[in-house]
């Protein structure tokens, strides 16, 4: 289909992008890599009157080592996350998840900020930043504010960003040497995850194990029942059995809710077993 008519504005800076958002309110949308927004325009699921193109703001494409965390610009592309030596060393879960997004064309255009702002509950990078406890930075007319990843995803395709705010940076706590695992099932190669699990930490380690789920509700979720069971010393099999507690998986063209619950239990068990067996490289199940 052909998108509804819109006015195209190219922002020359973050300030200009924020100003345009404030000026046009709910009528305006940012355009980054376009790999979620353009299909939505063509299907007329979105029909903004003004598109503010931020795709060329190279000032927001970076990975910086800031001591205890990596600061990643919102316009960093999936392919750059996948190839970054710093991300591979200090946030390997993110590098791995970025490498699983779509196909090379998608990874060459799609951006970290676009993926998170799109707030797709099945997005690979969303569940990865949730598991890592990342902090997201938004800029609006009143200045900058920080949003914990746990508070960022509000509903399906709805984030905590106000209409006049732009996501500018994602702060990834360094996790070099911390065990991690990413388990994912998708129906076809290069497809979105039906269910994915990101797990970080080691049982009995100094920090509790964190387990996050994609595709199990309207937002990426922490598997709290699993985390609590592990903290109470339950074995992996018992903890994983509660992987779907507190979730609300959808039934859609990819899978029924019951099958998603089954996948969550199986993938959480695999992830927890993998944490105990370094190297903890995530794998894609099909
Ligand atoms: C064929 C295909 C396969 C895919 N497979 C996967 C997959 O397996 N896993 C996966 O996770 N994703 C997948 N995706 C989605 C892909 O990761 C998108 O690139 C990503 O979701 C959106 O990033 P973008 O930069 O293209 O954002 P855009 O499409 O430009 O924008 C998406 C939304 O975010 C808003 N936005 C963009 N940047 C910002 C910002 N900095 N601040 C505030 N709002 C912003 C836009 O206004 C829009 O509402 C796939 C996409 C396609 C087309």
Cα 193 to middle of ligand 1, angstroms:
14
CA distance 201 to 38: 37
pLDDT of residue 190: 80
The protein residue with its alpha carbon nearest to ligand 1, atom 38, reads 114
- Helices and strands: H and E segment counts in the chain: 12, 15
The protein residue with its alpha carbon nearest to ligand 1, atom 47, reads 30
* Domains in the chain with CATH codes: 7-53 (3.30.43.10), 58-173 (3.30.465.10), 180-285 (3.30.390.50)
Query: How does pLDDT run across 85-107, given as a tens digit for each residue?
Result: 999 999 999 999 999 999 999 99
Which of the four pLDDT bands, split at 50, 70 and 90, describes residue 286? very low
**Mean pLDDT lowest for which of 3-7, 10-14, 79-83, 116-120?**
3-7
The protein residue with its alpha carbon nearest to ligand 1, atom 44, reads 117
Contacts of 226 (CB under 8 A, 6+ apart): 211, 239, 240, 242, 243, 268, 272
Q: Is the CB of 61 under 6 A from ligand 1?
A: no
The protein residue with its alpha carbon nearest to ligand 1, atom 28, reads 34
CA distance 93 to 97: 6
Categorise residue 136: left if φ over 0, alpha if ψ from -120 to 50, beta otherwise.
Answer: beta
Q: What pTM value is reported for the model?
A: 0.96
For the CA of 102, the nearest atom of ligand 1? 5
């Amino acid at each position: 289909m052909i998108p509804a008519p819109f006015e195209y504005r190219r922002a020359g800076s973050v300030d200009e992008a924020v100003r345009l958002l404030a000026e046009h309110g709910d009528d305006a949308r940012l355009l980054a890599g376009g790999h979620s927004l353009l299909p939505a325009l063509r299907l007329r699921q979105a029909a903004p009157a003004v598109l503010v193109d931020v795709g060329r703001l190279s000032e927001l494409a970076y990975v910086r080592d800031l001591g205890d965390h990596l600061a990643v610009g919102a316009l960093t592309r999936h392919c750059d996350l996948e190839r970054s030596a710093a991300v591979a060393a200090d946030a390997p879960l993110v590098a791995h998840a970025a490498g699983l997004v779509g196909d090379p064309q998608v990874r060459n255009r799609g951006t970290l900020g676009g993926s998170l702002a799109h707030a797709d509950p099945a997005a690979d990078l969303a569940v990865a930043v949730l598991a890592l406890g990342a902090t997201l930075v938004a800029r609006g007319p009143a200045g900058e504010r920080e949003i914990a990843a746990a508070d960022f995803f509000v509903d399906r395709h709805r984030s905590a960003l106000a209409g006049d705010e732009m996501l500018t940076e994602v702060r990834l706590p360094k996790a070099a040497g911390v065990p991690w695992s990413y388990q994912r099932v998708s129906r076809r190669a290069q497809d979105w995850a039906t269910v994915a699990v990101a797990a970080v930490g080691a049982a009995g380690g100094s920090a509790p194990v964190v387990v996050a789920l994609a595709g199990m509700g309207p937002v990426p979720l922490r598997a709290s029942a699993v985390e609590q069971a592990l903290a109470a010393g339950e074995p992996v099999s018992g903890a994983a059995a509660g992987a779907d507690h507190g979730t609300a998986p959808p039934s859609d063209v990819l899978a029924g809710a019951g099958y998603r619950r089954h996948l969550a239990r199986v993938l959480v068990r695999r992830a927890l077993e993998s944490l105990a067996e370094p190297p903890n490289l995530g794998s894609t199940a099909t």
